[in-house]
Structures are given as C-alpha cells and as structure tokens.
C-alpha cells in the first residue's frame, strides 16, 4: 500500500515506509537520573559514614521548564529526577546517601564524578538513525518516535480487511441453535487471523445464500475495504452463492487446487480491491489464509512475505532449486515423528505439534484430528507440515518443511540442531506449484 504520513496515535501496528532520523537530542539537556543533590564531586569526595560532609543547600531544582542558576561553590542544590543540571555540578548525591536536609545536608557516602547524570544526546544525537524503514511500530517504537518529536511518521497504512462468511445455516455466537443451524466460527477465526496479520478488520457474519443478498453485501463492503475475504460458497454445490455471483463478473478466477485441506479457492481483483474466496470448512479456511492471504497482507503492509522465527533452523531447498514453501513462507526443517499418510497428487498440510528430541532436533507429530472440519486439532497445532504431491506415505525420521503457526514451547534461546541436508529435502520432493483437480468437500 502507498506510504503516507499518519498521526502518531494512529501509527501503532503500521510499518515505517522510510528511515527516521532524529532532529533533536535525547535527552535534550543534562539532567538528574535520581532525586538527591547536585554537587561538585571534589567537595564531597571525603564523605563517609564515619566522617560525613555537611554542605548548605543553596537552591531547589524541580523538573519542568526552568533554567537553574549556576551552583554556588561549597553548596549543593536539591534536585528532582529529570530536572536540569545546574552549571558547575558534576555529580548527583542520591537522597539515600544523605539525611535529606533542606537547608543543609549531611552526606555520608561519596559519589563519583558523573554519577546519576544523564548527558544531553547520550541516548540519541541529532542526525542519528532512530528507526529504519520496514520497522513494525509497536509500543516501544511509538514511544521512541514521540521522544524525538515525530508527530506524523511515514508509514504503510494497515490494510482494511472485510470478512464475509456465507451460509443461511449460520448463526452468531451466543444465539440459540435451531435445527440444521451451526455457529458461525469462520468469520471470527478469519477476522482474528487478519487482525494478527496487522489488518484493520470488519466482520460481516452469516450472509445468506440468496444471490441478491450476497451481491448487495459484497458491493457494500467493497467500498471501504483494501481486501475482501469470503468464506464458503465456492465449491460445486447447488447453492454456492459466492461462486455463482462473483464468477459472472469475470474478475474472480475459481480453481480446484491440488492441496488438502483447502482445495476450492478463488482470487481476483474487483474495482482495484483484491478478493480472496476461501473454502467453508473451518480448517480449510484458516489453512488457506496462512498459505495465500497472510503473505499478501504482509506485502501490502510493506513487509516481506516470509518471516524468520527466532531459534529455528530454516528449511533448505537448494537441491530443489529454491522452489516451494521455503521461498515465501515462514518454514523450518522438522523431523517427522510418526507415519504420515497423504493422498497422491495433492500437497498435504497436516496439522502438527513440535517438540525437541534428546538431540535437540524438532520432531513433528499429529495435532489431533486431521479432518477439514476438526478445529480442535488446528487449535493445538504449532505448524503445518508440508507433504509434497508425489508422496503418499512419510516414514518416521524423514525431514520435511513445516510452516510455523505459533511460537511453541521449544521456542527460546536454544536453537534447534539443524541436521536437514539438502539431500534429505530433495528426497521429500519439491514443494512447488500445486496441480488442479480433485473432488469437492475439502
């Protein structure tokens, strides 16, 4: 998305579109890091518990828009945290090292020169690079921009995503269920995934299977969205309303992708807005989001499509000429821990949990049921295993790529041992482009 300058209060979660350099120093002036007394180190150097030094308090300096008078020789100035340092002072005696006097003070520990003084520009000097282009603006980054007085940083705005779930059988969460009705989980799941991906999300739940109703809803959300995501209604059923309505425009292409779960897919651009039509089965919808929508949203935000997981070994596909999942997704090499079955001619994405074995390698095992409707398995999964199209059975010990979904228990400072050779990767087959074909209901 095109960069623009945005008010700082609206920039959280955005990605910087250009480098930001400081035009002011931080701190902007020498100031005290402690409540205590501004002093000359040489005048309090002899202070000790046995022989405290007593000096007159010549002034009191509070934090705020003040310009303190120079420190009178042989005296100290009572000073508060953040208050400007008076000329002539070169140390701060913290309050705990004194008797806390206001007219005179007894000092029983000698500070070194420069103690508890924040020097102007010691954190950031004018002209310093503050944040680089491509930085995601979290709370710390927003605070830093405020500190250097950047009111409108240049950012890629967060994409506005509209999520439409379709199906006359859907009811909202919390509503009573009638015969043949199911709770609309897709719109909540996809909206949450889009939010996690950095989007501003609007959710439109339970659009009916009536073509006119869907067409009206679609036209309405298209006006205020940068991306539209639909779920359901794109297979070969008699009332697959999304496919029925959107195929007439000629701008959305519907395909049968050789993958499981998530075979029926659609994509196109309508009025300049990308439209992703995802399957209706809940696992299929979320897996499809991870494979197709999340990378697109990252690119729209000004980020690379792929990400790096801390403490993980990336999957190497040198022998496969760099093609496939590792080229665009957050993948890592894992060792399969049990027999994994896959349908021939389809790239399969089993939902797996990851654990370290005794040697530090990552081992993948099934995370619950693997049906396209079984959300409990996906909810407990750490990753999607990537099984190539030509493989029908994966033996334990085989190394395959896995697309990371969550930060699992093994994440941390210890990086997993990387034993995946390019030969092992090649033996699992290329994770290249999937083929079209197959049956409905996946």
For residue 8, what are its two tokens?
Answer: 């700082």
Going by C-beta distance under 8 Å and a sequence separation of 6 or more, which residues neighbour residue 416?
311, 312, 313, 332, 356, 360, 361, 362, 410
Q: Name the one residue in this structure whose structure tokens are 């503050």.
A: 130
For residue 442, the model assigns a pLDDT of: 46
Contact 285, 231 (CB under 8 A): yes
Q: Tell me: the pLDDT tens digits for 284-300?
A: 999 999 999 999 999 99
For residue 376, the model assigns a pLDDT of: 87
Stated pTM of the model: 0.78
Q: Tell me: the pLDDT tens digits for 363-405?
A: 999 998 777 888 888 999 999 999 999 999 999 999 999 999 8
The Cα 391–Cα 348 span in angstroms is 9
In the DSSP assignment, the letter for residue 98 is B
The Cα 341–Cα 385 span in angstroms is 12
Other Cβ atoms less than 10 A from the Cβ of 58: the count is 18
Q: Name the one residue in this structure whose structure tokens are 């994440």.
A: 411
For residue 68, the model assigns a pLDDT of: 96
What is the maximum alpha-carbon separation in the chain? Answer: 95
For residue 70, what are its two tokens?
Answer: 């120079």
The Cα 227–Cα 300 span in angstroms is 10
Listed as ranges, residues in the chain with pLDDT below 70 are 237-238, 306-329, 406-442
């Amino acid at each position: 998305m095109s960069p623009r300058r945005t008010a700082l209060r609206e920039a959280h979660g955005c990605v910087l579109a250009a480098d930001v350099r400081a035009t002011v120093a931080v701190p902007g002036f020498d100031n005290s890091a402690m409540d205590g007394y501004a002093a000359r180190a040489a005048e309090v150097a002899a202070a000790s518990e046995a022989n405290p030094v007593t000096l007159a308090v010549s002034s009191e300096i509070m934090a705020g828009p003040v310009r303190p008078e120079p420190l009178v020789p042989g005296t100290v100035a009572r000073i508060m945290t953040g208050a400007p340092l008076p000329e002539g002072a070169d140390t701060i005696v913290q309050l705990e090292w004194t008797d806390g006097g206001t007219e005179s003070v007894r000092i029983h520990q000698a500070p070194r020169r420069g103690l508890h003084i924040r020097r102007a520009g010691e954190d950031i000097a004018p002209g310093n690079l503050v944040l680089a282009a491509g930085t995601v603006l979290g709370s710390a980054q927003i605070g830093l921009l405020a500190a250097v007085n950047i009111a409108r940083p240049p950012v890629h705005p967060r994409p506005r995503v509209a999520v439409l779930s379709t199906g006359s059988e859907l009811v909202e969460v919390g509503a009573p269920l009638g015969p043949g009705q199911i709770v609309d989980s897709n719109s909540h799941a996809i909206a949450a995934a889009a939010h996690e991906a950095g989007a501003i999300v609007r959710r439109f739940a339970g659009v009916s299977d009536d073509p006119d109703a869907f067409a009206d809803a679609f036209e309405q959300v298209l006006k205020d969205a940068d991306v539209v995501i639909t779920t359901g209604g794109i297979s070969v059923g008699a009332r697959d309303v999304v496919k029925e309505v959107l195929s007439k425009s000629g701008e959305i292409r519907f395909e049968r992708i050789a993958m499981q779960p998530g075979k029926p897919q659609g994509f196109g651009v309508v009025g300049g807005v990308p439209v992703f039509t995802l399957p209706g089965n809940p696992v299929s919808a979320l897996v499809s989001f991870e494979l197709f929508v999340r990378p697109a949203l990252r690119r729209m935000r000004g980020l690379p499509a792929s990400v790096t997981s801390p403490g993980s070994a990336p999957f190497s596909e040198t022998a496969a000429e760099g093609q496939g999942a590792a080229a665009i997704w957050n993948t890592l090499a894992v060792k399969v821990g049990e027999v994994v079955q896959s349908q021939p001619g389809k790239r399969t994405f089993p939902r797996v949990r990851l654990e370290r074995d005794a040697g530090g390698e990552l081992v993948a095992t099934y995370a619950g049921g693997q049906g396209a409707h079984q959300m409990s398995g996906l909810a407990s999964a750490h990753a999607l295993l990537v099984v190539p199209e030509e493989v029908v059975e994966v033996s334990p010990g085989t190394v395959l790529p896995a697309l990371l979904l969550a930060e699992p228990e093994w994440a941390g400072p210890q990086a997993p041992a990387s034993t995946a050779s390019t030969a092992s990767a090649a033996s699992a087959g290329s994770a290249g482009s999937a083929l079209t074909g197959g049956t409905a209901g996946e």
